[in-house]
Amino acid sequence: MARAAVLFVTLLSCLAATQGTLTLKQILNDSRFTAYVNQLLTTTCTASLPALSTAVDNCQNLVDIVVDVAGGSKTAPTTCDPACASSLSALPETCSTSLKTIFTTTDATVGPLASTFFANSSSPSPSESPSDAPEPSYAPEPSTKPSPPSVPTLARAVPQAGLDVVPGFEEERASGEIDRRLGEAASSGGAEGVAKLVDAEGGGFSEANVARAFRAFAETLKPGADFTAVSKHPGFQVLIDMVLSGMSRYPTATLAQVIYDCGRLGVSEDMLLDEVARHLMDKIPDMAPPELVSLASGYAGVAHSPSILLFQAISERLREEGAGLEAELKTAANEAFAELGYTDLKPF
């Protein structure tokens, strides 16, 4: 994976044209674009280098959005001239979709501007040429959001009749009941008992229940036990599908716990492991050290590395927090990196 990333960067550097404000070579070495590049490396765009290079060179307004926002601006040019629109339309559909998703979801300020830009790219005027394209239009400065109405404290909000009438309380109570039953299934029925419960009632699980189910499976393992048969059970596959289909709703700590438990179970489900890594890549700087160590340990448990970039980011984040971390966490982190062959990246 490291070799592929180096090759990708080298090829992009060779393909980058010089007429743009920023070439791809410059973008790849610009910290303002790190979150975007890291995600781009995991997409099918790496198979369309010439078309991607042309698109970036012709779409400097898209580049300028990131640059302007990084400089503190809340507005940026969102016009997409015909040359850019043509370059974007020449990209393979999967690459085009990935590019749009990355730019519209990675940063809260960049996202709306990028959405306007891509909307403008969908219907360029056939009579326009790059030389007579209109002056850049600017997205309006966002209006100040009104202050949210004051919310009464729980003590004042709950009527004397009881908690049952509080919105969401029934769902929370049901979720807690499911967690309790998962624990009982793990104790009395083993992995097969947990799998049957998930198979029968998984459709009503919350994100927390899904994570608890993974943990319940892990709790059933005995030393030397083989989890292969149970991991193929429909109930366990249901859990994997629920994480994949609803990943955006899962807190980072929950996803880290899921990967950690997969490592404990020895479950090497590549799609789950890779998609979670892709989803968390730009969230690493905001994740707590225990989450990061759980994530690294989980991948080490199944000897699977989705990307060296992921572990570089984890290592850098842990080093930032190093002084205040417990010795146990530091040891676990170093062991995980060593088991994956990333000795040079060990954070401590």
Give residue-wise pLDDT tens across range 197-226. Answer: 998 888 889 999 999 999 999 888 876 677
Please report the pLDDT score of residue 234 as a whole number. Answer: 83
What is the rounded distance in angstroms from the CA atom of residue 77 to the CA atom of residue 97? 21
> 138 in helix, strand or coil?
strand
| CA distances from residue 42 to 24, 39, 115, 259, 308 in whole angstroms, order as listed | 17, 6, 21, 19, 11
With tokens 């080298």, the residue in question is: 10
Most confident range (mean pLDDT) of 46-60, 117-131, 259-273 is 259-273
Q: Where are the domains of the chain?
A: 2-132, 169-345
Q: Which DSSP string corresponds to 319-347?
A: HHTGGGS-HHHHHHHHHHHHHTT-GGG--
Mean pLDDT of the chain, nearest integer: 77
Which is more confidently placed, 243 or 141? 243
pLDDT higher than 80, residue 29: no
Q: Over range 294-306, report the average pLDDT.
A: 95
pLDDT higher than 50, residue 279: yes
pTM greater than the 0.85 cutoff: no
pLDDT one-digit tens code per residue, 82-100: 778 877 877 777 777 778 8
In this structure, what token pair is assigned to residue 298?
């989980």
Please report the pLDDT score of residue 52 as a whole number. Answer: 74
281 Cβ neighbours under 8 A, 6+ residues apart: 35, 38, 39, 42, 307, 309, 310, 313
- Which of 288-311 are b and which e, b meaning 16 or more Cβ less than 10 Å from the residue's Cβ? ebbbbbbbbbbbbbbebbbbbbbb
Please report the pLDDT score of residue 147 as a whole number. Answer: 43
Please report the pLDDT score of residue 219 as a whole number. Answer: 87
Q: Which DSSP string corresponds to 265-319?
A: HT---HHHHHHHHHHHGGGGGGS-HHHHHHHHHHHHHTT--S-HHHHHHHHHHHH
Q: Over range 130-147, report the average pLDDT.
A: 48
Beta strands in the chain (DSSP E): none
Q: To the nearest whole percent, how much of the chain has pLDDT over 70?
A: 73
Q: Name the phi and psi angles at 201, rounded to 5.
A: -130, 10
pLDDT higher than 90, residue 255: yes
Among 87-96, 121-130, 158-167, 240-249, whose mean pLDDT is lowest? 158-167
Q: Name the phi and psi angles at 51, rounded to 5.
A: -65, -40
Among 21-35, 40-54, 74-88, 160-174, whose mean pLDDT is lowest? 160-174
For residue 70, the surrounding DSSP H or E stretch is helix 60-70
CA dihedral (260, 216, 265, 248) positive or negative? negative
